[in-house]
């Protein structure tokens, strides 16, 4: 698989990464450990060298799983993890006190069974802690050799500018897909100007753009999509138009809808590296196939024109979580 450089940081990653969250958290019961390890190792065999986890994904269990899976090839991959929630629990709110950042770093090093974190993201901006203090703490961790690069997630323009002035931000991780285009307004131009890479999460619209979900789909009781307005039964039905568009392009390109959605992202900027997640090896193989799908200027124009006429319905987070993004 080809590599991409995240902005001016020099951090080289496979152009598609693997989001590991769903292996233990968010989308129903945790995957069997042996199967999860096999999937991560298969991803590496297929050329993926960029793996994403976080303290908040099962309070260390996700990081431990990833650490076990990549142990034999740790020096060949880039591991990204995150700090920023109280007790590592997103339900308890944000916490980026410098003391907490340091505690998370030490715990993550232990869970991941590694001596350095390649990319350390602030998971969500903490409005109570000056961004200069957050960036300064990570800067110190970099000086101490515990972290290589600083990242941010779902941060807004001013927070990114303030952080970058203290410690260069290597990458911003935020949601971006044909189903969520908001970053195009202010975030992408800023990242380009500052030389910051972009790592889109949920590049397949939390599974919706694969075409495998419709208004009759029933999610596991522990699946967080149950509380996402965009995934209400009514909104899924209304949003089917976007899936139909992707399917149309997929047929023309002899590809799958997921491959078109990922190829579209890869075609946007050379410093974008999406991190689709999956628990199934056949889906992993399908996603990796996206790197061979080349969308022409005509294809992209056709998608742009058609998608501009489609109104996506429903918020991407429940109301009580909306205030955590774009700070």
Provide the token pair at 324. Answer: 């955590």
Distance in angstroms (rounded) separating the CA atoms of residues 212 and 243: 10
Neighbours of 89 (CB within 10 A): 13
Exposure on the CB side of residue 47, measured as CA atoms within 13 A? 14
Q: Choose the catalytic residue: 57, 111, 121, 176.
A: 57
Provide the token pair at 211. Answer: 């075409």
Q: In Å, what is the CA distance from 22 to each residue of 53, 184, 201, 207, 259?
A: 10, 26, 12, 11, 19
- Bridge-based pairing of strands 197-201 and 169-175 is parallel
Provide the token pair at 125. Answer: 């901006």
* 172 within 8 A of 155, measured Cβ to Cβ: yes
- CA dihedral (224, 191, 160, 272) positive or negative: positive
**What are the residues facing 27 on neighbouring strands?**
223
CA trace torsion 145, 107, 65, 42 (10° rounding): -20
| Active site (annotated) includes residue 57 | yes
* 264 within 8 A of 178, measured Cβ to Cβ: yes
φ and ψ of 54, to 5 deg: -170, 155
φ and ψ of 152, to 5 deg: -130, 160
The packing angle between helices 33-45 and 281-288, to 10°, is 20
* 84 within 8 A of 96, measured Cβ to Cβ: yes
- Residues that are catalytic: 57
């Amino acid at each position: 698989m080809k590599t991409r450089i995240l902005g001016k940081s020099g951090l080289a990653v496979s152009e598609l990464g693997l989001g590991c969250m769903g292996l233990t958290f968010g989308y129903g019961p945790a995957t069997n450990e042996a199967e999860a390890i096999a999937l991560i190792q298969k991803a590496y065999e297929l050329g993926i060298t960029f793996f994403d986890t976080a303290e908040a994904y099962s309070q260390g269990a996700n990081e431990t799983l990833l650490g076990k899976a990549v142990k034999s090839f740790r020096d060949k991959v880039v591991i990204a993890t995150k700090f920023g929630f109280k007790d590592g629990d997103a339900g308890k709110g944000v916490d980026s006190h410098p003391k907490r950042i340091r505690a998370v770093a030490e715990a993550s090093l232990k869970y991941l069974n590694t001596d350095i974190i390649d990319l350390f993201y602030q998971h969500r901006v903490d409005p109570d802690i000056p961004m200069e203090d957050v960036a300064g703490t990570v800067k110190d961790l970099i000086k101490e050799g515990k972290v290589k690069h600083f990242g941010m997630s779902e941060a807004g323009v001013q927070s990114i500018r303030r952080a970058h002035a203290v410690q260069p931000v290597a990458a911003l991780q935020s949601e971006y897909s044909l189903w969520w285009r908001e970053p195009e307004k202010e975030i992408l131009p800023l990242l380009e100007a500052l030389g910051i890479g972009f790592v889109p999460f949920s590049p397949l619209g939390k599974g919706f753009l694969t075409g495998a979900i419709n208004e009759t789909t029933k999610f596991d009781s522990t699946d967080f999509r149950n509380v996402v307005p965009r995934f209400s039964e009514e909104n899924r039905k209304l949003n089917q138009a976007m899936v139909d568009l992707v399917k149309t392009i997929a047929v023309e390109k002899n590809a799958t809808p997921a491959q078109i959605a990922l190829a579209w992202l890869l075609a946007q900027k050379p410093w974008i590296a999406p991190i689709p997640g999956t628990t199934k090896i056949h889906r992993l193989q399908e996603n990796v196939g996206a790197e061979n799908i080349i969308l022409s200027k005509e294809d992209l124009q056709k998608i742009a024109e058609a998608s501009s006429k489609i109104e996506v319905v429903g918020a991407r987070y429940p109301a009580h979580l909306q205030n955590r993004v774009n700070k």
